[in-house]
Structure 1
Amino acid sequence: MESVSSPVKKKAAERQHRAEVLLAGEQLRLRLHDGKLIKDRRYHLRTYPNCFVAKELTDWLVEHKEAPDRETGIRLMQKLMHHNIIHHVCDEHSDYKDARLLYRFRKDDGTFPLDKDVKVFLRGQSLYEKMVSIEDSILKAREENEVTYQRTVFGCELIDWLIQEGETESRKEAVELCRLLLEYGIIQHVLNKHHFFDTKILYQFCINFRRRRRLTELLSEEALRSLPESPDSPFCLRKLSSEQSASFHSVQPAKEIKMVSALRRSSVTSLSGASCSYFPSPPSLGVLPSIDCNPKSVLTRPVTTDELLSPGAPYVKKTLTIVGDSVGWGFVVRGGKPCHIQAVDPGGPAAAAGMKVCQFVFSVNGMYVLHLDYQVVGNLIMTGPRTLVLEVMEAIDEQMP
């Protein structure tokens, strides 16, 4: 049976490190939006949207103990620049300077480069979120050589699931996808001895997508590989309480709209060759923030699925057909079980189709989603077709809860 060669292992480790940088950068971006460090700024009679001042950010990093000193903070931001996560608003400076200069996250202005590495990472992230969000997940704790590994799956079982869920059309295509995920350090054999095979060999996800990252981890690849699982890790098989999953701390809806509008579908290009079918339209990294980064709910009280579906409930179902434009669909979904519409861009396709804040998402492209949280629903939307068909439920008297 084919083993994993040293060059493959080395390359997978490098790609895994880049994935950690992407996750840490996205978590930082959402925290800065939440803390109002990112905002529209005016300089020399010109307004630059969604920017931050380098000196202010360095102050923030030290103040929030994300960096022990200014020099480390500068190195951290330079790391994000090197990975094309942030850039100077006019691209006049290739380095991060601790001065009153304006920088911006590429996710906020639609210039984030979706190369092959990023697309594979987003694909793996989407599959992982889909797996861990269902009640009877195929990812389980299993033993191998008297050692228990969390979130594992047998190779043949993963192939069956990919075909059953419509993620791939054939076993050959599913195997090619899984081998690609292994080569990119997203999954691996639990003992890191074998490549991927469609047999009863045990594999696990290597990347903990939901763990809260500390920025200083990015300065050491060895530290990233040896990090223990945190209590918030999905690898610990720990379920969030209903109170946690329904709580929000956030930016204003207007700011959230700007973030959504900045995600340009036009920048998405499919991979060449046999892999192109794996990546229809990659989901945004923004659907995976930690709980502290989520926006405050627009709902004045929680609403349960049973309440929506109970006979005689004061809710009506509507079908919305939304054709995405060059920058997306123009709305934000938040919450879970059921999800709700958090914000709508008044000039976007969703608003034109009749979408309103506080509507509850009943189905996405024919798939019932009242039992899913916003991360899974967001992935379904972002990985689906450009023309989006949503069924939503809203209060009959338009007095939203």
Structure 2
Amino acid sequence: MERTGSIKRKVMARHHKAEVMIAGEQLRLRLHDNKLIKDRRYHLRTYPNCFVAQELVDWLIIHKEAPDRDIAVQLMQHLMDHDIVHHVCDKRLVFKDAKMQYRFRKDDGTFPFNTEVKVFMRGQGLYEHLVTSRDSVMQLREERGASYPHSFPGCQLIDWLLQNGEVQSRRQGLELCHALLEHGIIQHVSLTHHFYDSGLLYQFCVNFRRRRCLSELLNESEHEENKEVFQTQENQDESAFTVHEIASKSFLSGQPSKPQKAVGGGRRGSSTSLQLHLHSYCNAASGPLLRCNPKSVLKRHVTCEELLSPGAPFMKRVLTVLGDAMGWGFVVRGKSPCYIQAVDPGSPAAAAGVKVRQFVCQVNSLSVLHMDYRTLTRLVMTGPRTVVLEVMEPVN
């Protein structure tokens, strides 16, 4: 168990590194487009491709990438800690909200191309090739009664690598896929197998094309640092999940609970973890995060057969949720069927009519009745930002 936990922690750390690299690159391209990155002179010397920290902080707030200057500085410090940006003289290790010049390491050629980065870039290249290829092996497939979009059998991926000249032999293909899995780029659909040259199904667990919100970087880092605090009691309840403490009234739940200490600065965030819940901004003034595993909002257990039976007291609705930069804003829970546990009242989900106690039947025309909340969450997180939900809600 200890070894398994260590492996999972390494995979999560690598996945976070991948997310930081993607977010950093997306930010770099946007800053170039907005002319914030340019050649600048300082003390009779010209520094190419630089940005001024103070100007960037202003830009992050104007474009709603950060709610205030303190969070903006934390975000950029996070990029510095991961070798994405640095001070032009490389002597300062702290990002300061001042008229100081910084650069992206990719702009000046100092980006550390170690093994981890090389595997990441190889995975990104393969992902782009696969999603644009006419003969892509990434398709909707089923395994043990569950459907998985954009999945592929291990043996077919290796066949594709050989056919497209990505590797020279099946052994090289297997080694490449092992590296991709170990660095958190691909994974088995149920997270139970390593990579094998067989019919087992795998998926990319990094959506390289999704627009990242910079706040996700702090949220993920925060989640890793407090992993022991937030860990769910899965051995006791397979359908349980953890909700990070947020401003206690920002989520509507159908069941009252005991008063909880609210965390200041709560804001809806797009999560890359296994739940579609909120991550709040937390700093030293926010107070600690609290462990929260609320009881189900359901008044009684409902089976899939009961939902689908003629004359059942449920009404079918089709809801279109257009996710924004912060995510979708609802929490799913349960297993066969999943249901809506909570909804952020200011979210796209609330605007679309998503309500607590609704049972999720389909996601983007794919039946999810027999999925658990983990699988359903992964389906939404790796799919398009517009999610079409078919739900069944009780008729009062």
TM-score of Structure 1 vs Structure 2, range by shorter chain:
0.5 to 0.7
Q: In the aligned structure 2, how far is the partner of 1:173 from the partner of 1:136?
A: 21
Contact 1:218 1:224 in 2 (8 A): no
**Measured at CA, do residues 213 and 91 of structure 1 come closer, stay the same or move farther in structure 2, by a change above 3 Å?**
same
Query: Which residue matches 2:5?
Result: 6
The amino acid across from 1:139 in the alignment is: M
Q: In the aligned structure 1, how far is the partner of 2:324 from the partner of 2:122?
A: 22
Contact 1:17 1:224 in 2 (8 A): no
Q: Please state if 1:224 is matched with 2:272.
A: yes
Any idea what SS the aligned residue of 1:199 has?
coil
The amino acid across from 1:7 in the alignment is: S
Greater fraction helix = 1
Deviation sequence 1:220-273 (CA, Å, 0-9, x none)? 22433247698799xxxxxxxxxxxxxxxxxxxxxxxxxxxxxxxxxxxxxxxx
Deviation at 1:44, TM superposition (A): 1.3
Q: In the aligned structure 1, how far is the partner of 2:178 from the partner of 2:123?
A: 12
Q: In the aligned structure 1, how far is the partner of 2:9 from the partner of 2:129?
A: 28
Contact 1:85 1:112 in 2 (8 A): yes
Query: Which residue matches 1:101?
Result: 100
Q: In the aligned structure 2, how far is the partner of 1:117 from the partner of 1:82?
A: 16
CA RMSD after TM alignment:
2.0
Deviation at 1:148, TM superposition (A): 2.1
Any idea what SS the aligned residue of 2:98 has?
coil
Deviation at 1:15, TM superposition (A): 0.5
Deviation at 1:218, TM superposition (A): 0.2
Q: Please state if 1:210 is matched with 2:209.
A: yes
Query: Which residue matches 1:42?
Result: 41
The amino acid across from 1:38 in the alignment is: I
Deviation at 1:7, TM superposition (A): 2.6
Deviation at 1:11, TM superposition (A): 1.1
Aligned residues: 230
Q: State TM-score, norm by structure 2.
A: 0.56
Query: Which residue matches 2:381?
Result: none
Contact 1:211 1:230 in 2 (8 A): no
Query: Which residue matches 1:158?
Result: 157
Query: Which residue matches 2:82?
Result: 83
**Measured at CA, do residues 139 and 104 of structure 1 come closer, stay the same or move farther in structure 2, by a change above 3 Å?**
same
Any idea what SS the aligned residue of 2:141 has?
strand
Any idea what SS the aligned residue of 1:197 has?
coil
Query: Which residue matches 2:344?
Result: none
Q: State TM-score, norm by structure 1.
A: 0.55
Contact 1:38 1:50 in 2 (8 A): yes
Query: Which residue matches 1:28?
Result: 27
Contact 1:211 1:232 in 2 (8 A): no
Any idea what SS the aligned residue of 1:200 has?
coil
The amino acid across from 1:165 in the alignment is: N
Query: Which residue matches 1:70?
Result: 69
Q: In the aligned structure 2, how far is the partner of 1:76 from the partner of 1:190?
A: 32
What percentage of residue pairs aligned between the two structures are identical? Answer: 60
Query: Which residue matches 1:51?
Result: 50
**Measured at CA, do residues 230 and 81 of structure 1 come closer, stay the same or move farther in structure 2, by a change above 3 Å?**
farther
Any idea what SS the aligned residue of 2:178 has?
helix
Query: Which residue matches 1:309?
Result: none
**Measured at CA, do residues 207 and 168 of structure 1 come closer, stay the same or move farther in structure 2, by a change above 3 Å?**
same
Structure 2, unmatched stretches of 5+, are 224-270, 277-320, 326-396
Deviation sequence 1:72-127 (CA, Å, 0-9, x none)? 00000000000111000011211101100000111111111101110000111111
Tell me which stretches of 4 or more aligned residues in structure 1 moved more than 3 Å: 226-233
Structure 1, unmatched stretches of 5+, are 234-401
